[in-house]
C-alpha cells in the first residue's frame, strides 16, 4: 500500500484536491506508521502553507487530527518565530531607511553649507611704486597704497564682510546695516558699517587708523582675549604701538590723501619723508649727513608728478642737494 503513495499525492490530499478514491487511499496510508516520516518531510518543506484538510476538524480522519496537533506543536512556533523575525527585519529595514534618508539629507546639507562657506579669496599685491583701486563685490572701494597687500573674497557671503590688509589703504565702505565690514591687520580689527577711513599697518611701524567720515571701532583680538582700542569719528585717529594707544586729531581731508595721490607731512623728519617716497616711487634714498635726515618739515606733495620734481621741492625747503644715479638718490 505504502508504495502507491508519493509526495505529490500527499500534498494533493492536504490541499483538499483528492478524489474520493484518492482520499480513501491516503486515509489507509495514514494508519500505517511508515507514513510518519514522509508526512513530516512534506509538512516541514511546506511549513508556511495552510492546508485545507485541517480547516474543519469534524470532517477529518483522527490521524489527521494528530497530524494537525503535531504540526501546530512543531510548525506553529517556527511560524511565530518566523513572523517575529520578519517583523524585526521589517522594522530594521524601516529604521535603516530612515537613517539612510537622514544621512542623505545631512550629507546634502553639509556639502551645500561647505560649498557656501568655502569662499574664494583674491589677493592684490602692490610693489613699491605702484598703487591700485579695488572695487569689492559690495561696491566698497579700496585705494591700496604702494608696497601693500589686500586679501578679500570674490563675493561677500554670510553676515560679515572680512578683508585682510598689510600696508596702507583708504576705504570707502558701502553701508550695510546688518553686515559689518571688518579690516584685519594682524591682531587688530577695524570694524565699520559704512564710512571712509585709512589704515596703515606696516611691519615694525605703529598701526594707524584715521577716519574721514562715519564711525570706526578698533579692537585688539587674541586667541583668548579682546580689548577695545578706540571708537573713532571723523577727524580722529589712533596709533597703536607695542601695546600703547595714542589718540590724536587729524584733518578729514588729509585722511583722503591716499585716494587723491597726495602726500601730507606734518612736522615729519626728512628721513620719514624719504621712507614714504621710496615706497611710492620704488627708489632708494640715502643720506650723506645725519643732520639733514633729521630735519623736520611740514608740507603737502603731489605724488602724481615725477620724483625729481618732488626732490626739487624738498631740496629748496631743506637746503640740500641731491644726485640721482641708477635708480638711487643720494642726498648731500
Please compute the mean of the pLDDT values over residues 23-52 and round it to a whole number.
68
Report the range of poorest mean pLDDT among 16-25, 47-56, 119-128, 280-289: 47-56
> Which residue did the predictor score with more confidence, 202 or 55?
202
Grid cell at residue 290 = 645725519
> Which residue did the predictor score with more confidence, 210 or 332?
210
DSSP label of 53: G
Q: Please report the pLDDT score of residue 57 as a whole number.
A: 44
Q: Which burial class, exposed, middle or buried, applies to 33 when counting CB atoms under 10 A from its CB (0-12, 13-18, 19+)?
A: exposed
pLDDT band at residue 6, thresholds of 50, 70 and 90? confident
pLDDT value at 322 more than 50: yes
| Closest listed residue to residue 247, CA positions, set 259, 238, 255 | 238
Q: Which of 40-49, 94-103, 264-273 has the highest mean pLDDT?
A: 264-273
Report the range of poorest mean pLDDT among 43-52, 139-148, 153-162, 171-180: 43-52
In tens, the pLDDT along 238-292 reads 999 988 999 999 999 999 999 999 999 999 999 999 999 999 999 999 999 889 9
Q: Which residues contact 31 (CB under 8 A, 6 or more apart)?
A: 63
> Which residue did the predictor score with more confidence, 87 or 280?
280
Amino acid at each position: 500500500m505504502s508504495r502507491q503513495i508519493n509526495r505529490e499525492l500527499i500534498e494533493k490530499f492536504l490541499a483538499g484536491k483528492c478524489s474520493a478514491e484518492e482520499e480513501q487511499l491516503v486515509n489507509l496510508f495514514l494508519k500505517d506508521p511508515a507514513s510518519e516520516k514522509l508526512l513530516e518531510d512534506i509538512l516541514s518543506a511546506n511549513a508556511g502553507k495552510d492546508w485545507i484538510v485541517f480547516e474543519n476538524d469534524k470532517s477529518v480522519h483522527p490521524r489527521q487530527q494528530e497530524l494537525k496537533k503535531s504540526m501546530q506543536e512543531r510548525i506553529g512556533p517556527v511560524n511565530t518565530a518566523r513572523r517575529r523575525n520578519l517583523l524585526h527585519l521589517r522594522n530594521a529595514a524601516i529604521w535603516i531607511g530612515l537613517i539612510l534618508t537622514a544621512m542623505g539629507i545631512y550629507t546634502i546639507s553639509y556639502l551645500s553649507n561647505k560649498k557656501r562657506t568655502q569662499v574664494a579669496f583674491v589677493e592684490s599685491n602692490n610693489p613699491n611704486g605702484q598703487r591700485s583701486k579695488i572695487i569689492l563685490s559690495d561696491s566698497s572701494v579700496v585705494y591700496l597704497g604702494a608696497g601693500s597687500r589686500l586679501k578679500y573674497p570674490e563675493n561677500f557671503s554670510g553676515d560679515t564682510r572680512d578683508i585682510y590688509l598689510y600696508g596702507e589703504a583708504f576705504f570707502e565702505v558701502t553701508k550695510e546695516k546688518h553686515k559689518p565690514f571688518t579690516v584685519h591687520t594682524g591682531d587688530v580689527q577695524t570694524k565699520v558699517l559704512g564710512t571712509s577711513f585709512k589704515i596703515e599697518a606696516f611691519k615694525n611701524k605703529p598701526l594707524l587708523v584715521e577716519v574721514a567720515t562715519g564711525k570706526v571701532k578698533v579692537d585688539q583680538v587674541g586667541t583668548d582675549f579682546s580689548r577695545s582700542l578706540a571708537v573713532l569719528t571723523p577727524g580722529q585717529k589712533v596709533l597703536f604701538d607695542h601695546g600703547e594707544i595714542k589718540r590724536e586729531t587729524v584733518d578729514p581731508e588729509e585722511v583722503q590723501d591716499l585716494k587723491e595721490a597726495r602726500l601730507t607731512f606734518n612736522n615729519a623728519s626728512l628721513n620719514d619723508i624719504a621712507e614714504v617716497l621710496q615706497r611710492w616711487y620704488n627708489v632708494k634714498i640715502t643720506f650723506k649727513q645725519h643732520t639733514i635726515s633729521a630735519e623736520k618739515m611740514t608740507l603737502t606733495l603731489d605724488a602724481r608728478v615725477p620724483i625729481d620734481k618732488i626732490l626739487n621741492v624738498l631740496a629748496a625747503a631743506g637746503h640740500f642737494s641731491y644726485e640721482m644715479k641708477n635708480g638711487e638718490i643720494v642726498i648731500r
